[in-house]
Amino acid sequence: MDFSSINPALLIASLMVSATPILLAAIGEAVAEKSGVLNLGVEGMMIVGAVVGFIIAVNTNAPLLGFICAAIVSGIFSMIFGILTQYLKSNQVATGLGLTLVGLGLSALLGRPYEGMKSPTLRALDIPFLGDIPVLGKMLFSHDLMIYFSVFLVAIVWWFLKFTHAGMVLRAVGENHDAAHALGYKVVRVRMLAIMFGGATSGLGGAYISLARVPQWTEGMTAGAGWIALAIVVFASWRPWRVLFGAYIFGGVTVLQLNLQAAGASIPVEYLSMSPYLITIIVLVIISSRGNQGAPASLGRPFHASS
């Protein structure tokens, strides 16, 4: 095999590309979970985003519009989960799973006419000066808008949760919904907004797969990315910058594995392609063995205002 074909600068650059869908989905889910909602429908919301983004981008030839529509539609789609769990008090685990199953079905239905087509992709930004730095320029400053947006989003979420009053209310709701209610905060409303945010960013993540990473539409193309995003939230102990770190590590593993495949490593392809999932399991094991620190205390618990 030929390791010389693996270029470290390209490796980092493609790492960011492959991490971004998971990063986008995970940062939204982290916010939802911080508010006390466990939404297992990330995979479903991502794939809906992927198909909607693709359809819009192909038909309008405007990938950016595709991303925007993906965020909106997935945000609306997540409201099914929101209404069921927050207003109709359904079980969050079952509802989240249902959302994933419906999302997969719905996307397959919508995307069928688009199978095999190619989509327009986002242009890489032309960043003057920075992009011209040797190695570093190619590594960090020659990406498309969404990659920078995803990092920006992490910063915003971090700032929001740490420094704003609304962020503090969100954390309080996730920590103790009864107490938050007793103080007069609208638990259900806060959670609905958090769920919708999670849906929108998952949609963006999904669209990034179908519009930038691959870029075409195939049924079930998220291939577990949503579940990996859920694992990364746990890995990150619900902290935004650690979500970024986790997603990039994961992106690194995926890219390395793909590079090894391309370089003709002697390990069979099937074993390389299962490695991201195995590594996710290993990471979960390491995290759980030192205790799930930082989990919001009301995570997954149903809230009913008794008074």
* 8: contact with another protein by CB under 8 A: no
Look up residue 20 and give its two tokens: 């971004």
Does residue 180 interact with another protein by CB under 8 A? Answer: yes
Query: Where would I find the H helices in the chain?
Result: 8-34, 42-60, 63-82, 92-111, 136-140, 145-163, 165-175, 177-182, 187-208, 225-235, 240-262, 269-289
The residue among 123 and 304 lying less far from another protein, judged by its C-beta, is 304
Q: Which of residues 31-50 bind another protein (CB under 8 A)?
A: 40
CB-based contacts of 264, cutoff 8 Å, min separation 6? 1, 2
Write down the least CB distance from residue 292 to another protein, Å: 7
- Give whichever of 68 and 258 is closer to another protein, judged by the CB atom: 258
- How far, in Å, are 101, 200, 274 from residue 210 at the CA level? 19, 16, 21
The interface with another protein within residues 181-240 (CB under 8 A) comprises: 182-185, 219, 223-224, 227-228, 230-231, 234
Smallest separation (angstroms) from another protein to the CB of 110: 9
Q: Which of 11, 104, 127, 193 contacts another protein by CB under 8 A?
A: 104
Out of 31, 157, 172, 200, the only residue in the binding site for another protein (CB under 8 A) is 172
Contact 74, 226 (CB under 8 A): no
Whole-angstrom Cα Rg for the chain:
19
C-alpha span between 200 and 72 (Å, rounded): 6
Q: How far apart are CA 267 and CA 190, in angstroms?
A: 49
Q: Which of 2, 4, 88, 264 binds another protein (CB under 8 A)?
A: 88
Of 152 and 271, which CB lies nearer to another protein in the complex structure? 271
Q: Which of 190, 220, 209 is nearest to 254 (CA)?
A: 209
Residues binding another protein (CB under 8 A): 40, 80, 84, 88-91, 93-95, 97-98, 101-102, 104-109, 112, 165, 168-169, 171-172, 175-176, 178-180, 182-185, 219, 223-224, 227-228, 230-231, 234, 268, 270-271, 273-274, 277-278, 280-281, 284-285, 287-289, 291-292, 294, 296-297, 304, 306-307
